[in-house]
Amino acid sequence: MASTSTAAIEQWQRIETLVKAWLDERQQLIVLLCTLQGIRGFSPQQPRHKQLQQFCELLMDYISAGYFEVYRELVNEARHFHRENPALTQHILRQLDNSTDEALAFNADFENPERNADLKSALPQRISQLMQTLEERFALEDQLILSIHQQEPPLRQAMH
């Protein structure tokens, strides 16, 4: 039983570290997004264009990490520690798809310096729209985390 408990604690700690790093990346994303929100126009030569590219890269990294690492690990944790609520999890993951589509479209439009110069007049509105979408996404992700990943490792559950 002790080795099962130790393995369960180690698994929980690994997921805790993954989630914390991902949430730190989210914080960086929010800071960059707030910085970009004030942009009214830009050109490829301006430093703000670099901020926009950096934001697009971080946005794609964040969304990819969510889908290919964090969500998968949380679902596995739910199964392992018998905290599964498949209906809730599937509902949240389906809702996250909409914000993913919007983030991908934003990235496609603004990651390329030549193309985004043509879209500069749309940038403030697109950033505003993306901020609202990401706010909803973050709330869904938080709900997913809180419904599965508890604050303390499940010692009692790991022993059963």
pLDDT tens-place string over residues 16-53 = 999 999 999 999 999 999 888 766 555 555 557 788 88
Average pLDDT over residues 126-153: 88
Is-contact 129 35, C-beta < 8 A? no
Q: What is the DSSP letter of 151?
A: S
pLDDT tens-place string over residues 82-125 = 777 788 888 998 999 889 999 999 999 888 867 766 777 788 88
C-alpha span between 141 and 80 (Å, rounded): 20
CB-based contacts of 28, cutoff 8 Å, min separation 6:
58
Kindly provide the b/e burial profile for residues 58-70, where b requires at least 16 CB atoms within 10 angstroms of the residue's own CB. bbeebbebbeeeb
Q: How many helices (H) and strands (E) does the chain have?
A: 7, 0
Residue 14 phi, psi dihedral angles, 5° rounding: -65, -45
pLDDT tens-place string over residues 68-85 = 999 999 988 888 777 777
Domains of the chain by start residue, with CATH: 2-159 (1.20.120)
The secondary structure of 41-101 as a DSSP string is: ---TTSHHHHHHHHHHHHHHHHHHHIIIIIHHHHHHHHHHTT---HHHHHHHHHHHHHHHH
User: What is the value of pTM for the model shown?
Assistant: 0.83
